[in-house]
């Protein structure tokens, strides 16, 4: 199974900050990497697919990069609605695996 490791596990930041979350795969997954935002009581929201493709309706302050084993999600200027938990997910092979999540909190 491919293990996905996110860092940090939690992060405190302020509105307007630039934030980067990293995700590392235990083996190469090419660009089969997706990012989700998840808020309590809601369904997860796909932000980025194929490592860097921004989904329709997702603000341009979100961006993704990377390939192989190392990936990043960047939020260029945090907004109040961005405080949530973020997950990376590899779709290279089954079993599909998620990172453990990064909880983004207000400082």
Cβ atoms of 8 and 102 closer than 8 Å: yes
65 in contact with another protein (CB under 8 A)? no
Secondary structure (3-state) at 81: helix
Min separation Cβ 16 and another protein, Å: 28
Contact pattern from residue 3 through residue 42 relative to another protein, giving x for each residue in contact according to CB under 8 A and a dash for the rest: -----------------------------x-x-x-x---x
55's CB contacts (< 8 A; 6+ apart) are 46, 47, 48, 49
Min separation Cβ 80 and another protein, Å: 23
Interacting residue ranges for another protein, rule: CB under 8 A: 1, 32, 34, 36, 38, 42-44, 46, 49-50, 55, 85, 87, 89, 91, 94-101
């Amino acid at each position: 199974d491919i293990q996905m490791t996110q860092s940090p596990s939690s992060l405190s930041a302020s509105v307007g900050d630039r934030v980067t979350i990293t995700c590392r795969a235990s083996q190469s997954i090419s660009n089969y990497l997706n990012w989700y935002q998840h808020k309590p009581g809601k369904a997860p929201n796909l932000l980025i697919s194929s490592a860097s493709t921004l989904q329709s309706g997702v603000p341009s302050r979100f961006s993704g990069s990377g390939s192989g084993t190392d990936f990043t999600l960047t939020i260029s200027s945090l907004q109040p609605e961005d405080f949530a938990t973020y997950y990376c997910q590899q779709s290279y092979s089954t079993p599909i695996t998620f990172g453990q999540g990064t909880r983004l909190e207000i400082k």
